[in-house]
Amino acid sequence: MRSSEYVAIARRQIREHADLFDALLEFERTKRMPRLSRKKRVNMTIDSSLYREVQREAKRRNIPVSSLVEKQLRLTLGAWRKEKA
């Protein structure tokens, strides 16, 4: 493997895992490891009747609404990536 390929892989890893590299930089600066959370709290606005219906179904199926939203976002991103390729 040529060095340019290693550089490309390293740049991709830094881009994909920026939060981990930021945590390492913070550790280097403070000598304390920050808490790494793989989740991000977000605030969004959706139709209230849609939310009530989703909340009711999620409760009935014993699934957190956030897990449902996350799953659908992953499916949508996968579809977009396929379109792009």
How would you write the pLDDT of the chain (85 residues) with one tens digit per residue? 788 899 999 999 988 888 888 888 888 999 887 777 677 889 999 999 999 999 999 999 999 999 999 999 999 999 999 998 7
Three-class secondary structure of residue 37 per DSSP: coil
Residue 66 and residue 40: Cα distance in Å, rounded?
11
Q: Model pTM?
A: 0.55
Neighbours of 58 (CB within 10 A): 16
The residue behind tokens 């991709």 is: 12
Examine the domain organization and report whether 28 and 48 are in the same domain: no
pLDDT value of residue 9: 92
- Domain membership of residue 15 as a residue range: 1-38
Tell me the C-alpha distance between 45 and 64, whole Å: 18
When divided into structural domains, the chain yields a total of 2
Indicate if 46 and 83 belong to the same structural domain.
Answer: yes
Q: Are residues 34 and 57 in the same domain?
A: no
CATH number of the domain within which 50 lies? 1.10.1220
CA distance 11 to 21: 12
